[in-house]
Each structure stands twice: as structure tokens, then as C-alpha cells.
Amino acid sequence: MTDNTSHDDDAQAGIEQAARDMKSAPADRATAGPFDESEANPVRPYIDLGGIKILPREGLNLRLEVEEQTKRIVAVGLDYADSSLQLQAFAAPRTTGLWSDTRDQIRDQVRQQGGRVEEREGPFGPELLAEVPVVAGAEGDSAKRLARFVGVDGPRWFLRGVIGGAATGDMDAAAQVEDLFRSIVVVRGGSPMPPRDLIPLRMPASPGAGAERAIAPQRR
């Protein structure tokens, strides 16, 4: 009896782990985005930031977030439709996804900060809606802000987005920012990289006039 129970538990654990390892992405990702470099339209005027390419659009402002100690660009920040979208792309295994484990890590981080988080089904699959405490004002008054954490597992990459501002609650703003996220192109490259390593980002080599005005490094 004990042996059977043990086998059943092992089988259940194996099923649960297999479900966690599955890639999480919209069924139409390859045709509707976010795109792998091999799937992107080569004639579109993308802003090339290395591991991520951005398609310019009216009203879009772009920031590059720089790690103070290493001077490394660690994230792309986009302001659009009264909202913000932070992007990071990571190397991932060929056959398994990272979004399930990443959601667990985000949950833990938010709760450790005294925030609340819930999982819900979004346009890209499972996403997290978090209420995160922030310090506001000279008196150090505490406030809370909403953030949506979205993720898509692609071919050998994982793209994470953090959405703030109007797109956390307003349907029209959310649709615009979701369309922006869909338009992102991830450039994994052919070099070997350990899973979860940040795919390197860079300043664009020769941005157009519109892009040049929009890009500003931001320390973190």
C-alpha cells in the first residue's frame, strides 16, 4: 500500500513538473508576436537595441535602464498610452519554458515587500497583477501601485514585461500596451548562453532622428 502511494505521488509530481516546464505563449505568437528575429518583417524600421528590437510608433518614448555599478543596460523602458512597459529578454532552454518558475519568484518578492499578488489569465496566458508598496513624498508616506507582470516563452528565449500606469486597469490603454508588447522582436543570437542570462542590450548604432530624441539612459 505504501509503495503504491509513493509511486502515485511520484507520478503526480512528475506530471506537475512537466506542466511547469511547458512553454507559455499565445497560440498565435509566431504570427502575431512577440516575435523571434527569424519571424520578424525584415523591411520594418525597427530600433535595434541588441537583444530587443522596438517598432517606433507615434507617442512612444523609450528609455534604457542602466545598472549603476556595471554600466550595463539591463532593461528597456517604454512610455506609451499613459502607461509604462519595462522589457527584459532572457536566454532559455530550447524545449522548456521559464515563465512558471519566474511567476513563483515574483510572487515571493512582492509578498516579501508587503504587497499582494494574484494570478489571472491574460491575453498572453497566465499573468500576475500585483499591488506593490512604494514610498511617496518627503514624509515617507507609503502608497501602493499596481503592476501587471506578463511573460512569453519563445524559441530559446523568454520575454518578460512589467506594465504600470493606465494599462493596469483601463481597457483601452491595456489594449494599446498589449499591442506594443506583441510588436517586440527578440534577438537571441547563436552564442551559447546559460538559461536565465539576460540577453545583452545596447544603444542603437545609428538611431533615426525620432528614435534619438526618445532614448535616454536611466540609472538604477
Would you state the cell numbers that stand for residue 116, as one nine-digit string?
499582494
Global pTM reads 0.84
**Model pLDDT, residue 11:** 43
Confidence category of residue 204, pLDDT binned at 50, 70, 90: confident
pLDDT, tens digit (0-9, with 9 covering 90-100), for 147-163: 999 999 999 999 999 99
Question: In this structure, are residues 97 and 153 in contact, taking their beta carbons and an 8 Å threshold?
Answer: yes
128: Cβ–Cβ under 8 A, 6 or more apart, which residues? 103, 106, 107, 110, 117, 118, 119, 120, 148, 149
pLDDT, tens digit (0-9, with 9 covering 90-100), for 50-74: 999 999 999 999 999 999 999 999 9
Question: In this structure, are residues 106 and 95 in contact, taking their beta carbons and an 8 Å threshold?
Answer: no
**Model pLDDT, residue 215:** 53
Q: Compute the average pLDDT of residues 156-182.
A: 98
The number of distinct structural domains making up the chain is 1
By residue range, what is the domain housing residue 121? 2-219
Question: In this structure, are residues 87 and 78 in contact, taking their beta carbons and an 8 Å threshold?
Answer: yes
**Model pLDDT, residue 90:** 98
CA pair distance 138, 30, nearest whole angstrom: 47
**Model pLDDT, residue 137:** 59
Q: Please determine, for residue 2, whether its predicted confidence score (pLDDT) is greater than 80.
A: no
85: Cβ–Cβ under 8 A, 6 or more apart, which residues? 77, 78, 161, 162, 163, 164, 167, 177, 180, 181
Amino acid at 89: A
Confidence category of residue 134, pLDDT binned at 50, 70, 90: confident
**Model pLDDT, residue 107:** 97
What is the CA angle 176-161-174, rounded to 5?
25
Mean pLDDT across the chain: 87
The DSSP symbol for 207 reads -
